Amino acid sequence: MFSISTLVDVVRIPPSLFGTTLKKAAVNILKEKYESMINADLGYIIMILDAKVDEMGKMIAGDGGTFHKVEFEALTFYPKLQEIVQGEIVDITDFGAFVRIGPTDALLHLSQVMDDYLKSDVKSGMILANQSGRTLKVGSTLRARITAVSLGKAAAMGKIGITCRQPFLGADDWIVEEIKKASGGKEEPAKEEKVEAS
């Protein structure tokens, strides 16, 4: 789930940045420190959006920089268990596929693709279903449910597991087929016709 979080920190503005505006210097320092970072409470910190810098800074003896309190907004992505996500397959491996969801990749294990015998063809970048003939390949878009999230200290990049083994999940064309089957093979009308009373 994407969200905007408000955070507070203290930044050190080095003398080399004294010629720039205080806000611009603080935002640049915050970007270096926080962007692309994973936090156990916030998830993936994607980008710094805005910052309010306290103009009155503090100095420490022997340090040429100034220290300023900053309140800033950051765009974050925290994957929630059971959340439905849309993604694109970016890599096929012997054990499944990696699916790009938001700013990171999630693992779709072969056992979580569908109820069918699957074969992973790494060279051609495809997963093939034996009975149904369905395929997944690099570039395919799909809908999945998040089943595992690990953003702790042990997971430097974070680990996310997803599944497509539920109704109306999987590749986009599979979902269209399931909707047709659920509605008795009829496609939904594109628009309603107005009937005039006589």
Mind listing the pLDDT tens digit for each residue in 156-178? Answer: 567 899 999 888 898 988 888 88
Q: Whole-model pTM?
A: 0.74
pLDDT of 25 = 92
pLDDT of 129 = 86
Question: 7 and 65, same structural domain?
Answer: yes
Question: 109 and 150, same structural domain?
Answer: yes
pLDDT of 117 = 84
**Residue 104, SS3?**
strand
What domain count does the chain have?
A: 2
Burial 86-123 (b: 16+ CB within 10 A, else e): ebebeebeeebbbbebbbbbbbbebebbbeeebebeee
Question: 104 and 179, same structural domain?
Answer: yes
Residues of the chain under the 50 pLDDT cut:
154-155, 198
Q: Classify residue 72: in a domain, yes or no.
A: yes
Question: 126 and 70, same structural domain?
Answer: no
pLDDT of 188 = 53
- Domain CATH number, residue 41: 3.30.1490.120
Q: Which of 77, 104, 131 is the last residue of a domain?
A: 77
**Domain limits at 68?**
2-77
pLDDT of 197 = 54
Question: 67 and 92, same structural domain?
Answer: no
Task: Summarize the chain as % helix, strand, coil (round to 5).
Answer: 15, 45, 40
Q: Which of 43, 77, 111 is the last residue of a domain?
A: 77
pLDDT of 187 = 54
pLDDT of 154 = 43
pLDDT of 145 = 94
